[in-house]
Structure 1
């Protein structure tokens, strides 16, 4: 039996009406938006596994992403109240989902929370090649870059970003943070990244640490 919540399972089933109903119910009950997002992330993680096992295909990935965009349209306005810093720009953070991965839900949450905390965020979007991360770091002088992924087979792409930053002579000037449902400390070591962020709040905390704001 699945240990997923009703919301996570509804997302896995691609039942958009049920997902929207449950989210609306939770919001009206005053539930923490980050808790709702975590349930959605659990569902997305399961969808990622189904994709890797060839039980789901690209069409299912795209549909799940569209359902999540609808959920985030509801939840994003609530995230600005999670952690707000009214000071001027805290620094520049480059964020993107690595090449061959089209998932943006986790990335979008991080971007929203970073902006709410006062950071200037350069959002590169999804399916971002390593050289684009490198070029953007060069152009912005960012001290932090966040790499997002939901699919295991894109871990080598994360490593490629780190390697190309080193080849460009930037490795000692920028800290690399990885995040996404399948990521952990072992993946961080494999990629050569500096930090693993278990969730969006951890990612914000790490960026504040990098910029000396903690």
Structure 2
């Protein structure tokens, strides 16, 4: 597991692929491989990225390695009927074509057990609403990298309110120019500073929504 985590951190996708298969053959469970190998490595990548010790290219290489391992893990988890951590819809808002940050969050969320539906870039409020309804999402995540497109986060949240769906989902926002103050101003439920933070916030939002529905 330590070797797998190390090879993921340095981005050796072929070795991660091989080690994942070997671990499963030797009797490790899919959850053990995921938690003790892949996620351990990705957590370190996330911390290094947060602390500016590595940058986007290194994270993307690690993400590719993570994906190599997940191709063997995901079918096993799906077949076992493992309860997902939650369902999330992710997209970049209208007018914005940037997707690296969004894709990093998606990869981390999937690694943490979430079912994530990626609606891509340049996504309108209606795109978010349609996806949230179709997939019965608990969390909607919006990304923006341009200050000119940030207001579209607020417009999307307002559209959820207009459609009477605001109580059914929790909305988190993120992206380089986005701040906690902006998220509060737009009426978002959470702000993720980075991909690791996005996973923590998504977990909190799913738990909060479950508590509200049961009360």
TM-score, length of structure 1 as denominator length: 0.65
Residue 128 of structure 1: aligned partner: 123
Distance 1:198 1:73, change over 3 A: closer
1:33 to partner: Cα distance: 2.4
Instruction: Give the 4+ runs in structure 1 shifted more than 6 A.
Output: none
- Structure 1 window deviating more from structure 2 (140-149 vs 87-96): it is 87-96
CA displacement at 1:27 relative to structure 2? 2.9
Whole-angstrom distance in 1 between the partners of 2:154 and 2:132: 16
Q: Give 1:33's aligned residue.
A: 45
Contact 1:33 / 1:78 at 8 angstroms: preserved in 2?
no
**1:131-146 matches, cutoff 5 A:** 131-146=126-141
Aligned residue number for residue 212 of structure 2: none
Q: 1:194 to 1:207 in 2, by over 3 A?
A: same
Is residue 156 from structure 1 mapped to residue 163 from structure 2 by the alignment? no
User: SS in structure 2 opposite 1:203?
Assistant: helix
- Within 5 Å, give how 1:40-119 maps onto structure 2: 73-78=60-65, 87-119=82-114
Deviation at 1:209, TM superposition (A): 1.5
So what's the TM-score if we normalise by structure 2? 0.64
RMSD: 3.3
Q: Per the alignment, in what secondary structure is the counterpart of residue 148 of structure 2?
A: helix
Is 2:47–2:196's contact at 8 Å kept on the other side of the alignment?
Answer: no
Query: What is the number of residues matched between the two proteins?
Result: 161
Per the alignment, in what secondary structure is the counterpart of residue 106 of structure 1?
helix
SS at match of 2:121: coil
- TM-aligned CA deviation for residue 78 of structure 1: 4.9
The offset of 1:72, in angstroms, is 5.1
Question: What is the CA–CA distance in structure 1 between the aligned matches of 2:125 and 2:58, rounded to whole Å?
Answer: 29
Map residues 171-182 of structure 1 onto 2, 5 A cutoff. Answer: 171-182=166-177
Give how far 1:99 is off: 0.9
1:198 to 193, 201, 207: 193
* Structure 1: gaps of 5 or more residues: 1-25, 44-67
